[in-house]
Amino acid sequence: MFYFLILSGVHGIFHTASPVNFALDKYEETVIPAEKGSETLLESALKAGPQLASVVVTSSAVAVVDPKEKPGYVFTESDFASVRLAQAIKDKEEGVKTPGGVLYAASKTAAERAVWKFRDQHKPNFAITTINPSVVVGPPVVLPASSSQLNETLVPIFKILSGEAKAIPPPIGTGSFVDVRDVVFMHTWALENLSKADGERYIACKGLGPPQAVADILREKYEGTNIGGKIPVGSPGDGYLGFDKEAGVVRDVVYPPGKDQVSGKKAEKEMGFIYIGYKQSIKDTVDVLEKLL
């Protein structure tokens, strides 16, 4: 059934599938499929043949980040999340519903744990790497027929663009971001540089990506248009550094002092690329999403 795969003859594997639906509220719908999915794929990879060189797994920054008592912590690949998975397990045992966002984070933690446990136990001949993206935005390759079919990370951007959001929506997850095109590059690099990438985690994160900055960027982009007139104002520049209040434009989007950060510098340094900035990513995204207005 769900837990059966045939991977014979392949040279590389990208394992990207995981349910991203914050409406799901059952452990069995989120954590178990993500964990078993990783286990099944890797067990099948053992039977794929000696030509298999690499398995690259899409994990998440939520498998890195845990709440910290003191603000201003910088999360890196050496950090492993545990709190939300523990909460999900406890809620399940007590028959309590767990919020969808917590379940998603728990599922990514469980799935990545399964990856590294497999590697330690089986010591496979093929390389294993995880890519841990923060909130992924950027222009979609395939645009759905309706905005209701957009993925969870593009929905807030579209609601701001369309004016459906009358107030600035809350941030998703860690509040950090990465452009989807950089995530694709990182997966490809890991597959092509398996001797360097084997056994490594790479956080995919440019930096802070708050919804307030989305509104500020889009008001600037659509100034004087019907679209611009519908975009919520909120508190321009609130929650990040880089907003020029006199000019009313976003110069940069940077973490303010004292805010926890997710660092993607390891990937940028080792893979030799420069992340796409938030302003460019948002503008490129809405150039595509405009077609749904």
CATH of the domain at 255: 3.40.50.720
Count of the separate structural domains present in the chain: 1
pLDDT at residue 3 is higher than 70: no
Do the domain assignments include residue 2? no
Question: Tens of pLDDT along 186-206?
Answer: 999 999 999 999 999 999 999
Pairing of strands 176-179, 135-137: parallel
Average pLDDT, the chain: 94
For residue 132, list its beta bridge partners.
203
Do the domain assignments include residue 129? yes
User: In terms of residue numbers, what domain contains 97?
Assistant: 12-292
Do the domain assignments include residue 3? no
**Residue 161 neighbours by CB distance under 10 Å:** 26
Do the domain assignments include residue 123? yes
Question: Tens of pLDDT along 258-281?
Answer: 999 999 999 999 999 999 999 999
Burial of 45 (0-12, 13-18, 19+ CB in 10 A): buried
Question: Tens of pLDDT along 56-72?
Answer: 999 999 999 999 988 89
What would the two tokens of residue 69 be?
């008592």
Asked if 184 contacts 114 with a C-beta cutoff of 8 angstroms, the reply is no
Portion of the chain with pLDDT greater than 90, in percent: 89
Do the domain assignments include residue 5? no
Q: What predicted TM-score, i.e. pTM, was given to this entire model?
A: 0.94
pLDDT of residue 7: 66
Q: At 19, is the pLDDT very low, low, confident or very high (cuts 50, 70, 90)?
A: low
Can you tell me whether residue 16 is helix, strand or coil?
Answer: coil
Place of tokens 């008001």: 219
